[in-house]
Chain A
Amino acid sequence: DTAVSQTPKYLVTQMGNDKSIKCEQNLGHDTMYWYKQDSKKFLKIMFSYNNKELIINETVPNRFSPKSPDKAHLNLHINSLELGDSAVYFCASSLGKGEQFFGPGTRLTVL
């Protein structure tokens, strides 16, 4: 009965590849988010998305794109991976502007 789940937990890939990270929530929430945590533990918002609006942090490269097949899912697609993309990526969800619940994270390593 995991609330917010992410797959895979670990992802190791080569520079230049395209990869996706999946996120699913079973809380009935209508808003989902992606955060990036770098090696120094700094956490930054990347995207906020509901069925009406996508808010993008202006510092996020356009190689990153969120894709939402339905309200319960927000996948993160990354094109042309770079070394600096190595990080832990967290998905979160909320009901409107309520509390955000976080997934367990996906550790991405780009070689």
Chain B
Amino acid sequence: GDSVTQMEGPVTLSEEAFLTINCTYTATGYPSLFWYVQYPGEGLQLLLKATKADDKGSNKGFEATYRKETTSFHLEKGSVQVSDSAVYFCALRDAGNMLTFGGGTRLMVKP
């Protein structure tokens, strides 16, 4: 079946540092790929998405590129802020619109 693997956290960075959270997937067909963010005590919010190979999703300074050759969708941000502290989930969506999530990566940004 489909699966998503992302780096385990927590990832601890200082403010303005560069962020990379790795995500790889296994799927049949051509899934859409997503990054969701969960702030403390809240539900999941869609951060960005890409629906086909070589697409780049971007939002709030975060970017991720759909790499079919490496089955990856790594999340990057050039300069993180304390307010970016949250849990980040990589996910894929199959043809039936079911989401399969990675295990989540907790990001902690220190001032």
Measured CB to CB, the residues of A under 8 A from B are 4, 31, 33, 35, 40-45, 48, 55, 90, 94, 96-105
**Given A48-B98, A55-B98, A43 and B45 contact (CB-CB distance below 8 Å):** no
Interface of A is mostly: strand
Interface centre among A31, A40, A45 (most CB of B within 10 A): A45
Task: Tell me the complex Cα distance, A101–B43, Å.
Answer: 9
7 contacts between A and B (CB under 8 A): A31-B97, A43-B101, A45-B99, A48-B96, A101-B46, A102-B44, A105-B43
With contacts defined as CB atoms under 8 Å apart, how many contacts are there between chain A and chain B in the complex?
48
Contacts of B103 in A (CB 8 A): 40-42
Task: Tell me the complex Cα distance, A104–B41, Å.
Answer: 8
Interface centre among B42, B46, B97 (most CB of A within 10 A): B97
Shortest Cβ distance from B77 into chain A, in angstroms?
20
**Given A40-B103, A43-B104, A97 and B97 contact (CB-CB distance below 8 Å):** yes
Interface set, chain B 17-53, CB cutoff 8 A to A: 36, 42-46, 49
B100 at the interface (CB under 8 A from A): yes
